[in-house]
Amino acid sequence: MTAAALDHPPSLQSRDRVLRDRMFVRGWLYVVVAVLFALIVVGGATRLTNSGLSITEWKPIHGVVPPLNEAEWQEEFAKYRQIPEYTQINKGMSLDEFKGIFWWEWAHRLLARGVGVLFALPLLFLAFTRRIERGLMPKLIGLLALGALQGAVGWWMVASGLVERTDVSQYRLAAHLTLASLIFMMMIYVARGLAPHSAPAADRRTQRFAGLLVLLVLGQLYLGALVAGLDAGLSYNTWPLMDGRVIPGDLFVIEPAWRNLFENPKTVQFIHRMGAYVVLLAALLHAVSAWRWEPGTTHARRAALLFVLVCVQAGLGVATLLTHVDLHIALTHQAAALVVLGFATAHWRGTKGAWPLPDGSAATARP
């Protein structure tokens, strides 16, 4: 046996190789998360600029190439002029104005394709070179399947605004954004679990509270998508009162009553406001309880930072409302929502400790 082998026994060599492979996979996943973050923000800009219906066909391969000459631009514009959004809202729009909304939607779709390629090709390479642990592969394949489903949901959403409506269905918009956020969240969860943890798992109560916060933030994102889908943020632009009252009237004027929760802009905005207060209070209670149950630990520090992030996000929400949905502030609000969701997910996963190594030992960070 060589001196090098004595210095690094097989078990240690295997451990180092697994940790190295995990670091590689984790880095790749975080790159995908960054591009997915950009994709969701551009999707928000597409909605806020009313650009989502500018491309009326779904061409997964050919659609990568935009119009390259005047004739192709006129052909694309002619297709847009046939849908209700143009005939009822944008009639008389110039070709240059059409290009302005076209590029937002084209960029959104290009990023979506880019995320798919960025995930699928490295996944094949990592699987071929046996750098993915057996228990990890089903999770990654599941994420790939969700990504494919998300593409179909995106077109399903766009199709809702091409025949009878002048915009997309808020139900489908909310499903599209929520699924994107779920993929974003799950990818961070998987990547965070691959990282060596410097601290042991947190108390079970802290783990459960952290998980509850993730669900609350995801639910608030869904409510925000309904607000965007109904343009509900363009009315009742006062705070803390809404329509001059703490609890405004006419919240249930549509029959049956449940439809108000999804179709009444006033009701949807009010519920989104209330949801923000719930998330803020939950984040505060989580921070306080984490300091009581896990004093001085990294879990408690992350819980405190999460509360700060939620406070910033709440402030951006108020600013978005008071500025009548200023484009830049509204996009910052959406981006911050993803930051909160991502951090809450990483924090939740961190409270559980790292996934054990194949030999059953703990994947702890070296001092």
Q: What's the pLDDT at 362?
A: 57
Q: What's the pLDDT at 359?
A: 58
Q: How many other β-carbons are positioned within 10 Å of the β-carbon of residue 115?
A: 21
The pLDDT tens digits for 316-351 are: 999 999 999 999 999 999 999 999 999 999 999 999
Using pLDDT thresholds of 50, 70 and 90, give the confidence band for residue 293.
Answer: very high
The pLDDT tens digits for 181-226 are: 999 999 999 999 998 877 788 899 999 999 999 999 999 999 999 9
pTM score? 0.91
Q: What's the pLDDT at 358?
A: 67
Supply the mean pLDDT for the chain.
91
pLDDT above 90 for 291: yes
Helix H, strand E, coil C: the string for 87-109 is HHHCCCCCHHHHHHHHHHHHHHH
Lowest average pLDDT, out of 25-39, 127-141, 316-330, 332-346, goes to 127-141
Section 21-48 average pLDDT: 95
Using pLDDT thresholds of 50, 70 and 90, give the confidence band for residue 245.
Answer: very high
Q: What's the pLDDT at 5?
A: 42
The pLDDT tens digits for 142-180 are: 999 999 999 999 999 999 999 889 899 999 999 999 999
What is the C-alpha separation between 268 and 261, in angstroms, rounded? 6
